Structure 1
Amino acid sequence: MQFPESWLREFCNPSLTTQELADTLTMAGLEVEELQPVAPPFTGIVVGEIKEAVQHPDADRLRICQVDVGQGALLNIVCGAPNARVGIKIPCATVGAELPPGEDGKPFKIKVGKLRGVESQGMLCSAKELKIADDNGGLLELPADAPLGQNIREYLNLDDTLMTLKLTPNLAHCLSVYGIAREVSALTGAPLKAPTFPSVAATNQDTLAVKISAPDLCGRFSGRVVRGVNTQAQTPAWMVNHLARCGQRSVSPLVDISNYVMFELGRPSHIFDLDKIQGGLDVRWGKSGEQLKLLNGNTVTVDEKVGVIADAHQVESLAGIMGGDATAVNDDTQNIYIEAAFWWPSAIAGRSRRFNFSTDAGHRFERGVDPELTVEHIERITQLVIDICGTPNTTVGPIDDQRVNMPVAKPVTLRVARAEKVIGMPLTQQRVADALRGLGLPVTEGEGVVTVQPPSFRFDLQIEEDLIEEVARMVGYNNLPTTPPLAPITASVCKEAQRSPHALRHHLADLGYQETINYSFVDERWEHELAGNANPIKLLNPIASQMSVMRSTLLGSLLSVVKFNVDRKASRVRVFEIGRVFHKDASVQNTDTTVQGFDQPMHVAGIAFGSAAPLQWGTKEQAADFFDVKADVEALLAPAVPQFEAAEHPAMHPGRCAKVLVNGQAVGHVGELHPRWRQSWELTQAPVMFELSLDAVLHRDVPKSTGVAKFPNVERDIAVIVKESVTHAQLMAAVHAAKTQGLLRNAVLFDVYRPKSESAAMAMDEKSLAVRLTLNSDEATLNEAQIEGVVQAVLAELAAQVSARLRA
C-alpha cells in the first residue's frame, strides 16, 4: 500500500523523523518497502500569475507573457506552452532557480536569456518539468486562490515522502491511512486524531428497495439516495493530490470521493446512478450464464459461486469487487445511490482472480472490512459529495441500513506465561495488557491471563498465538533478546535398512544421470497418453493452460526435458527426477501429511536417450537399449534382486516393457517409449525409461556377512532345450528350486541359441539356454558323486517345471 507521509501525520504525528517512523513500522511487522520523495530537489520556483500574453512576433508557437510573482514588477517571460493564457496561476522559475536534474544528473539553472530576440526573465513550468507527474499537456495550472510568490514546494507540499508498505494478509486493518495511524499511535504513544462522522440531515424521504437474498454473501447493506448532484464539478486539488500520492489517478468527482474514503478509512464503497437502476436491488449469488459489463470495459459471465448486486432486469455489479457499466455515474448523472456493505471475506476471496483481474475493493473485502461503520462512512461520503458536487437543489435521503448476518467475534485468552515462553523474554501481565490496550483492543485481566474481545475491525484475532504476535509487535522485534534454544537437539538416525533420497541422487549421478526438477502441474494430454489417466486431478486456477492437471507419472516431465535438449542438438541425454505424483483415492483420510481422497506417493524416474556411453575411441557407439536401463534399475534396487515380467504400460512399447517386482510386489515399470509417442514427440530414436516407487528403492536389506569359502568352487555348464515362451525368470526359479542340499551357490545364464531351421534336435519354437552352475561345500571338497547329484537334481527340476531336456 502506498500513501504520503503527510496524510498519515494528519491522524498521528509522532516526534520521529521519516526514517525513524519507517523503521518503527517495519519492526512492528508493517514492512516499509520503499521511501520515495514526492518531488526531486529544485529551488527558486514560486507561484505566478499570467497578467498578459501576446503572440511572439517571430515565432508562431511562442508567446510573450507578463508574469506577476508578487515582487511588484512583472517578469517578461517567453513561453511555448499551448495553455499559456491570461489569468491562470502557474509555477514560475525565477532567475537563479534550479530545476530538477536532467538525464545527465545535473540541475538546470535558469538565467536571463533571449528567445527569438525577446528577453526572457524566467521560465513557466509544467508538471513534467518539475518531475511531479508524467503529464506534458502544458503548464501546471494552480488553483485561483494560490498565493502569489509562495514557494511552490511549500504550496504543493512537495517536501513529502511516499511510503510503500508490504503488508501480510492478516493486517487488513492497516489497508487505510487511518488504520496505519492507529498502529503508529500504539507504537509511539503519540495521540491519535480519530475521525468524526457528523450526520447529514435528511432533506427528502426517498429510499431504494434493497433485498438481501444471500446472507452468507452480505451481512450488512447500507445505502442512501442523494438527488440533485453536479457530476461535472471539479475534484479539489487536495483530493487529487492525495489520490495521486496513493497511486490512484483522478477519474471524476464521485469516483474520486469513493476512492478517497477507501484510502482514508479502508472502506470500499460504490456510487450508482440512481436513474439507471430498474426497480430495487437484490443482493444474491449469481446465476449460471448471467453476464455483466464491468467498469473496466470487460464483459464477464458469472455463476452460482460469484456474488452480485442485481436490479429487476439485470446484474449491475460484482459484489465487493467492481461495479457495472450499466449503472455507472457520468457527466449526465443527477441522482445517485451511495452503497456501503459488509461482504463476508470467504464470499469474496478468489472471485476476482476467476476473471483474471484484481481490484482494491476486492483486495480489502477478502481480508475483512469493519462491518460496524457502514453508516458512519456513508455519512462521510455524503458530506464530501455535498461539499464537492452539491447544488442548491441537492437533497439527501435517510440511510437505509439492513443488518442480516453480522460476524460475532469470540473472546481470545492469552496466558502471560505462554507469551513469555513463545516470545522468549520476561513479560509482566501489566505490560501485556498495556500493549494490547494500545492497539485499541478491549482487555479484561484475570490471574495470569488476559482476555481480549476482538473489535470489529480485527478479523485476524482468533487464537492465543494471534495475541502473542500483537504483543511481540508492540514490544518491537528489534527489542527481543537473542536467546539460544534450550531444547535438546538430538540427531535423527536413519535405519540401517533405509537409505536417504540424497544417497539415491548420488547413486543415479554415478550411473550417468542428471537430476531435473519439474512442476507437478502438467499438460492434460500427457496424462491421457502417457499415464492412461482419463480423469486426472484438475486445477481450479492453473498458472498456464498447458499446466492444468496434477501429474500421476513423472515420465511426461522427463520427456519434455529430453525433447527440450534434443531440439537444441543434444545427442545424448540421461535425466532423472525424484518427485511426488497424485492419484484420486477415496480410501485416503485427512491427516497432518495427507489430503482426503488423494494419494500423493513419491516416485523416482529416469530416461536414457542417445548412446549408451559417451563418445570414445575404445568402443563403438551404440544406442542405449532396454537392457542398459534394466541394468541401471537392478543397480538401484541392489542388493535386492528384482524380477522382470513382460507387461503393458500406456507410455511404453508393448513388446519392450517389463513390470519390476521386488519380493513379489510390483514397484514400477521399465521399457522403451511407445512408437506412437516417439513419433508425436518427434524423437529420432526411442528413449528408454523407468519409473519406480521411491519407498521400494530407498529400502535396502541389511547385508549379512558370510565366511570366505575354505574349499574351491566347482563349475558345471548345462545346456537345456525349452520352449520359446519360457522366460529367464522361470528358468532361474526352477534351477534354484532344485534340492541340492545347499551345494548350489550360484547360477548364471551365459548363452542363448535359436535354430535357423527345423532339425531333429530342435524345433523352430524352441531355444537352447546354457547355464553355468557354481557349487561349493563348507565341509569338504566336493567329489564327483556330489557334483553329479546336484546336476541331476537341477535337470530334474527343469524338466518338471519348464519341460526342459538336456541338449545333446
Structure 2
Amino acid sequence: MQFPESWLREYCNPNLTTQQLADTLTMAGLEVEELDPVAPPFTGIVVGEIKEAVQHPDADRLRICQVDVGGPELLNIVCGAPNARVGIRIPCATVGAELPPGEDGKPFKIKIGKLRGVQSFGMLCSAKELGIDEDASGLLEFPSDAPLGQDVREYLNLDDTLFTLKLTPNLAHCLSVYGVARELSALTGAALKPLSFPAAAVASQDKLPVKIEATDLCGRFSGRIVRNVNTQVKTPQWMLDRLARCGQRSVSPLVDISNYVMFELGRPSHIFDLDKISGGLNVRWGKQGESLKLLNGNTIQIDDFIQVGVIADDKEVESLAGIMGGDATAVSDDTKNIYIEAAFWFPKAVAGRSRHFNFSTDAGHRFERGVDPEFTIEHIERITALVLEICGTPDTQVAAMDDQKPNMPQPKPVQLRVARAAKVIGMAVTQQQCLDALNGLGLPATLASEGVISVTAPTFRFDINLEEDLIEEVARMIGYENLPTTKPLAPISPKLRAENQRSPFGVRHELAGLGYQETINFSFVEEKWEQELAGNHHAIKLLNPIASHLSVMRSSLLGSLLQVLKFNVDRKAQRVRVFELGRVFFKDESVVESDTTVKGFYQPMRVAGLAYGAADQLQWGRAETKVDFYDVKGDVEALLAPAKPVFEPAEHPAMHPGRCARVLLDGKVIGFVGELHPKWRQEWDLAQAPVMFELELDAVLARQVPVFKPVAKHQAVERDIAVVVKEAVTHAQVMEAVQQGVQGGILRSAALFDVFRPKKLKAGEEAAPGSLAQDEKSLAIRLTLGRDEAALTDVEIDAAMQGAIASLVERVAARLRG
C-alpha cells in the first residue's frame, strides 16, 4: 500500500522525523518497504503567468513569452512548448535555478541564454522536467488561482514523502490512510483526528429496490440515489495529487471520489449510473453461463468451477460482487443520476475470485482480507458530501438512505492469559501492560478474572480470533526491538529410527547406486495422464491450476517420469535412468482430518523408476544390449533386499499387457514393474520401450532385522533333479512344488541352473524317438539339503528327493528326464 506522508500526518502527527516514523511503523509489523520523495531535488522554480506570447522571428516552433513571476519586471523567456499561450500559469525556472539531475547525475543550472538571437532569462517547465510525471508534451499548467511567485515545491507540496507498506494479510485494517493513522496513534500516543460524517440534506424518499438473495455472500448492503449531478467537471487538483501519490490514476470525478474514500477509509464502494439499471438490484451467486463485461474491458464467463457473487438487475449481471463493476452501468460524462453502493461482502465469498479470472483489484484485495461491516452509512455520507462538493449543481437531489442487514457477523470474545502471553513473548509482562496495549489499539479489554483479559474485537479487526492474536498485539505495542534476546532452553532427545525401518534418504542412495538419477516433478499433471496412464477417472481437480494443462493431482509417478524421459530423448539422450520419491493423491472419504492428513484425501508416498536405452554404459568388454524387463526386475529385487519379493503376471494401464508383473511382499501387492504399453510408446515417439516400476514407499522402507543363527556344524548335501514340464509351467510353480515336497525342514535352498528346449522342427521333419515335444522344456534343479543338529542319513536324503519328485509330478505334471 502506498500513500503520502502529509495525508497520514493530517490524521495523526507525532513529533517524529520521516525516518523515525517509518521505523516506528516497521517495528510494529507495518513494514515500510520504501521511502521515496514525491519529486527529485530542485530549486528556484516558481509559479509564473504568461502575459504575452509572440512568434519567434527566426523559428517556427519557438515563442517569445513575457512571464510574470510576481517581480517588478516581466521576464523575457523563449519557449518551444506547443501549449505556451497567454493567460496560463506555469512553473518558471528563473536564472540561477537548479533543475533535477539528468542522466549524468548532475543538476542542470539555468543561465541567461540566447536562442536564435533572442535572449532568454529563464525556462518554462513541463512535468517531466520537474521529475513529477512522464508527461513531456507541453508545459505543466496550474489553476488560475495559483499564487504568482510562490515556490513550486511549496505550492505542489513536493517536499512530501511516499510511504510504501508491505502488509501481511492479518493487517487488513491498515489498508487505508486512516487505518495506519489509528495504529500510529496507538504506537506513539499522538492524538488521532476524529472523523465526522455530517448527513446530507435529504430531498426525496426514493429508493432503488434491492434484494439480497445470498446472505452468505453479502451481510449488509447500503445505498442511496443522488439525482442531477454534473459529471463533466474536473476532479480537484488536491484529490488528483493524493490519488496519484497512492498509485491511482484519475478516471472521472465520480470514480475518483470512490477511489479516494477507499484509500482514505479502507471502504471499497461502487457508483452506478442509475438510468442504466433495469428495475432493481439482486445480490446473488452467479449462474453458469452468465457473462459480464467489466470496467477494465475484459468479458468474463461464469462457470461451475468456482462460486462467484454478482449484483444483477432485472435483465443481466451488472457487477462482480466485491471485485469490480460492470461496463453496462458504468458512470460516464453523460451520467445525470447515480446510485452509491457500499456493502459488506464476506471474505470467503470474495477470496480467490480475482485470481480465477486472472486479474486483481484494490477492492478485491481489501474485501478478501476483511472490511468493517459497520459504518457503511457513514462512508456513503462521506462520498455524498464529496459528490455534492465536486459534482453538485443547484438541482442536485439526495435521496434517503437504504440500509439492509440480513446477516451481520457477530464478534466473539477472546480471552488472553497474562502468564501465557509472557511465555509466548519471552519476557515478563504485567496485566496492566496488556490492558494498556490492547485498549490503546482500540481493542476494548476488560478483566475477566485475575490474570485473564477478555476482548471483544471491534468490527474493523477481522483478524482477532485466537489468544495468540491478542498476544501478537501486545508484543507489537511493547515493540519488537524491546524484546530480550534469550536462547531457547529445551531437552534434546535424538530421534532414533526403528531398526526395521530405513530412511527415504537411504532409498535414494540405493537407487543412485543402481545407476538412477533423482528427479523432482510437479504434483499436478495432465488429466489425460490420470485417465489413461493411471486409469484414474476420478482425479482430484485443482481450483486454481498454475497452467491449464496441469489441472489435476497425480495418482501415479509414472507420467512425470515419462515426461522427463521425453524431454531428454528429444535432446538426443541415448541412455536414461531416472527415479522419483513423491506423494500421490486419491479421493478417500474414510480419511479424517488430522495434523498430517486432509479430510477426504489419501496421500501416500511412492517410489518409481524408469530405465531406457542400453542396459550398461558404453564399454568394450561386451556387446551393447537394450534394457529389458529382467534388468529392472533385478533393480527392484536389489532395492527390496534382503526381502524376497514375488512377481506375478498382471495388467497395468501404462504397461505392456504381456510384459508386466505385480510385486508382492509377504502376500501383499506393493507395486508394479513392466514395459511401457506400445500405444504410449507410439504416442510419445520413443525408439524403444522404457521399463518402469512403481512401489509403495512404506513397503520399501521396511526391512528385515538380522537374526543370529549359528553356523551349521554339519556339511550340506547337494542333489540334482532334471525334469520335463510343459512350456506353460512357470519357475515359481516349479519352486513351490519342490518346497512342498521336501518335508522336515531340511531343504536349505533350491536353484534352477539349466533350461533346455528342443530345437524347432522344419516343415515335414519328425522328432527323434524319446526327444522332447515342441511344447515341453527340461529344467535342472539343484537341491541343497542339511540339518543343524546332525548329519543327514541316506534314507532321509532319498526320502527328500522322492518327495520332491512326487510333488513335481503331482503339481506340475513333471516327469524325470531319461
TM exceeds 0.5?
yes
- Long gaps (5+) in structure 2: 761-766
> Which of the residues 754, 762, 775 maps onto 2:785?
775
The more displaced of 598-607 and 429-438 is 598-607
Q: Distance in 1 between matches of 2:108 and 2:611?
A: 66
The more displaced of 458-467 and 793-802 is 793-802
| Residue aligning to 1:95 | 95
Shift of 1:669: 0.2
Do the aligned partners of 2:742 and 2:801 also contact (CA within 8 Å) in 1?
Answer: no
The more displaced of 138-147 and 234-243 is 138-147
| Residue aligning to 2:763 | none
Residue 438 in structure 1 maps to residue 440 in structure 2: yes
| Residue aligning to 1:326 | 328
Matched residue type, 2:256: D
| Residue aligning to 1:582 | 585
Residue 747 in structure 1 maps to residue 743 in structure 2: no
Residue 282 in structure 1 maps to residue 260 in structure 2: no
User: TM-score w.r.t. structure 2 length?
Assistant: 0.95
| Residue aligning to 2:764 | none
Q: 1:621 to 1:26 in 2, by over 3 A?
A: farther
> Which of the residues 611, 614, 618 maps onto 1:611?
614
Residue 798 in structure 1 maps to residue 801 in structure 2: no
Q: Distance in 2 between matches of 1:120 and 1:555?
A: 78
Shift of 1:740: 4.9
Shift of 1:578: 0.7
Q: Distance in 2 between matches of 1:475 and 1:719?
A: 89
The more displaced of 349-358 and 786-795 is 786-795
Shift of 1:468: 1.2
Shift of 1:438: 0.8
Q: Distance in 1 between matches of 2:806 and 2:66?
A: 123
Shift of 1:439: 0.5
| Residue aligning to 2:310 | 308
Q: Distance in 1 between matches of 2:561 and 2:470?
A: 48
| Residue aligning to 1:222 | 222
Q: Distance in 2 between matches of 1:778 and 1:124?
A: 111
Do the aligned partners of 2:581 and 2:606 also contact (CA within 8 Å) in 1?
Answer: yes
In angstroms, what is the RMSD of aligned CA positions?
1.9
| Residue aligning to 1:208 | 208
Residue 452 in structure 1 maps to residue 462 in structure 2: no
Q: Distance in 2 between matches of 1:733 and 1:516?
A: 39
Residue 737 in structure 1 maps to residue 740 in structure 2: yes
Q: Distance in 2 between matches of 1:281 and 1:779?
A: 95
Matched residue type, 2:741: A
Secondary structure, aligned partner of 1:337: strand
Secondary structure, aligned partner of 1:441: coil
> Which of the residues 567, 591, 595 maps onto 1:564?
567
| Residue aligning to 1:761 | 771
Q: 1:776 to 1:301 in 2, by over 3 A?
A: same
Q: Distance in 2 between matches of 1:78 and 1:569?
A: 69
> Which of the residues 526, 532, 547 maps onto 1:544?
547
| Residue aligning to 1:267 | 267
Q: 1:763 to 1:271 in 2, by over 3 A?
A: same
Deviation string for 1:56-114 (max 9, x for gaps)?
22222222222222332222222222211111122222233332233333333323222
Q: Distance in 1 between matches of 2:37 and 2:721?
A: 92
Q: 1:277 to 1:723 in 2, by over 3 A?
A: same
Q: Distance in 1 between matches of 2:108 and 2:723?
A: 101
Deviation string for 1:354-374 (max 9, x for gaps)?
322221111111221111101
Matched residue type, 2:100: P
Secondary structure, aligned partner of 1:128: helix
Equivalence map 1:703-718=2 (5 Å): 703-718=706-721
Shift of 1:191: 1.4
Shift of 1:517: 1.1
Shift of 1:801: 2.1
Shift of 1:486: 3.2
Q: Distance in 2 between matches of 1:347 and 1:528?
A: 32
- Long gaps (5+) in structure 1: none
Shift of 1:176: 0.5
Deviation string for 1:145-198 (max 9, x for gaps)?
222222222222222222222222221111111111111111111111122112
Q: Distance in 2 between matches of 1:587 and 1:444?
A: 45
| Residue aligning to 1:675 | 678
| Residue aligning to 1:474 | 477
Equivalence map 1:185-196=2 (5 Å): 185-196=185-196
Deviation string for 1:614-662 (max 9, x for gaps)?
2223332222111111111001111110000011111011111110000
Residue 508 in structure 1 maps to residue 517 in structure 2: no
| Residue aligning to 2:160 | 160
| Residue aligning to 2:596 | 593
Equivalence map 1:367-406=2 (5 Å): 367-406=369-408
Q: Distance in 2 between matches of 1:555 and 1:251?
A: 53
| Residue aligning to 2:233 | 233
Q: Distance in 2 between matches of 1:723 and 1:116?
A: 112
Secondary structure, aligned partner of 2:190: coil
Q: Distance in 1 between matches of 2:260 and 2:780?
A: 90
**Percent of aligned pairs with the same residue?**
74
Secondary structure, aligned partner of 1:264: helix
Matched residue type, 2:261: V
Q: 1:20 to 1:715 in 2, by over 3 A?
A: farther
Shift of 1:13: 1.6
Residue 171 in structure 1 maps to residue 181 in structure 2: no
Q: Distance in 2 between matches of 1:485 and 1:70?
A: 69
Deviation string for 1:184-230 (max 9, x for gaps)?
11111111112211222223333322222222222222112212211
Q: Distance in 1 between matches of 2:722 and 2:119?
A: 116
| Residue aligning to 1:519 | 522
| Residue aligning to 1:497 | 500
Matched residue type, 1:636: L
> Which of the residues 525, 531, 538 maps onto 1:535?
538
Q: Distance in 1 between matches of 2:759 and 2:287?
A: 75
Do the aligned partners of 2:678 and 2:689 also contact (CA within 8 Å) in 1?
Answer: yes
| Residue aligning to 1:663 | 666
Q: Distance in 1 between matches of 2:70 and 2:809?
A: 121
Equivalence map 1:18-37=2 (5 Å): 18-37=18-37
Shift of 1:48: 1.9
| Residue aligning to 1:728 | 731
Secondary structure, aligned partner of 2:385: helix
Q: 1:778 to 1:193 in 2, by over 3 A?
A: same
Q: 1:303 to 1:708 in 2, by over 3 A?
A: closer
Q: Distance in 1 between matches of 2:777 and 2:580?
A: 39
Matched residue type, 2:493: T
Q: Distance in 2 between matches of 1:588 and 1:766?
A: 52
Q: Distance in 2 between matches of 1:744 and 1:368?
A: 75
Q: Distance in 1 between matches of 2:497 and 2:550?
A: 36
Equivalence map 1:286-365=2 (5 Å): 286-302=286-302, 305-365=307-367
Q: 1:329 to 1:710 in 2, by over 3 A?
A: same
Q: 1:93 to 1:807 in 2, by over 3 A?
A: farther
| Residue aligning to 2:605 | 602
Q: 1:226 to 1:772 in 2, by over 3 A?
A: same
| Residue aligning to 1:690 | 693
Shift of 1:346: 2.2
Do the aligned partners of 2:611 and 2:627 also contact (CA within 8 Å) in 1?
Answer: yes
Q: 1:381 to 1:783 in 2, by over 3 A?
A: same
Secondary structure, aligned partner of 1:135: coil
Q: Distance in 2 between matches of 1:781 and 1:807?
A: 29
Q: Distance in 2 between matches of 1:272 and 1:97?
A: 48
Give the number of aligned pairs. 808
Q: Distance in 1 between matches of 2:204 and 2:64?
A: 54
Matched residue type, 1:505: R
| Residue aligning to 2:122 | 122
Q: Distance in 1 between matches of 2:778 and 2:43?
A: 101
Do the aligned partners of 2:286 and 2:308 also contact (CA within 8 Å) in 1?
Answer: yes
Shift of 1:131: 2.3
